[in-house]
Amino acid sequence: MTSEEALTWIADLFEESVEDIHPETLKEDIPAWDSLGVLTLMADLDENFGILLTEEEMLELQKVNDIFEILRRNEKLD
Amino acid sequence: MRFILVDEILEMIPGKTIRALKKISSNEEFFSDHFPGFPVVPGVLLTEMMAQTAGKCLDAEKKRQGKAMLARINSANFREWVSPDQTAIINAEIKTNREKFATAICNIEVMDKRVCSADLFFTFVPLKKFAPDYIDEVLESYLSANPLI
């Protein structure tokens, strides 16, 4: 997956326009990245990429780039 | 109106698959508004039927300490109208089943024809939040009749 594809996936997940988010966008600036958003992100990482994270690990994520890092660590991002 | 939208569980593997039934009575109040002269079951109720069915499949797991609650409709499609006096067969397959969330692929068949489908996302609410005497009568009835599952 390219960075652009990852950004599109994250934008869709949090119901944002892809133009409005970038790697440095903070969690607090994405309204749908709330408690339900955390679980939705967990489910998508699980179902689409086979990445299993704990809720504690999920809560450590503070910006879009942190999601990129998870994808990179799991060799899902080019 | 009551909001129990599953009459009976036909078969179930807890946490994995379920097949249930709902007879749609022509006496349902909503038919008078939805719509005069063209009564059809609202899509939101078909979605709720699928959610309740998948929820029972998750709630049947004895390990679980929370009740499955619909948190997100990932997708839903309605292909055919469902009319009064028809019987809906509701199917759900649990796709992902984790401690904090679950997803289910669901559909409803009427007269062997698929009328709608949905991809649903569930979270779990602690049982202590509910009334102490609350029980799911439809689920308990099935589990009583099938004690070995």
What is the arithmetic mean of pLDDT over B60-77? 91
Residues in B closer than 8 angstroms to A47, CB to CB, are 95-96, 103
Q: What is the rounded end-to-end Cα distance, in angstroms, of chain B?
A: 32
Mean pLDDT of the region B22-35:
96
pLDDT (mean) for B102-108:
97
Q: What is the pTM of this model?
A: 0.90
The answer, for A43 touching chain B at a CB cutoff of 8 Å, is yes
When the pLDDT of each residue in chain B is averaged and rounded to a whole number, the result is 95
Cβ distance A42 to B101 less than 8 Å, yes or no, reads: yes
CB contact under 8 A, A36 and B71: yes
| Residue A39 touches chain B, beta carbons under 8 Å | yes
pLDDT of residue B64 exceeding 80, the answer is no
User: Does the CB of B98 have a partner CB in chain A at under 8 Å?
Assistant: yes
The model's confidence at residue B148, banded by pLDDT at 50, 70 and 90, is confident
Q: Tens of pLDDT along B121-144? A: 999 999 999 999 999 999 999 999
pLDDT of amino acid B78: 98
Question: What are the backbone dihedrals phi and psi of residue B36, each rounded to the nearest 5 degrees, phi first?
Answer: -55, 120
Residue A75 half-sphere exposure toward CB, CA atoms < 13 A: 0
pLDDT along chain A (78 residues), means of 10: 94 94 96 94 94 89 96 92
pLDDT score recorded for residue B45: 98
Rounded Cα distance, B135 and B149, in Å:
19
B77 pLDDT above the threshold of 80: yes
Helix (H, G, I), strand (E, B) or coil at B30: helix
Of B71, B96, B123, the CB nearest to A46: B96
Answer yes or no: do B103 and A39 touch at CB < 8 A.
no
Supply the ipTM of this predicted assembly. 0.78
- Cα-Cα-Cα-Cα torsion B130, B134, B135, B138, nearest 10 degrees, comes to -100
Residue range B39-46: average pLDDT? 98
How many cross-chain Cβ pairs, A to B, lie less than 8 Å apart?
Answer: 25
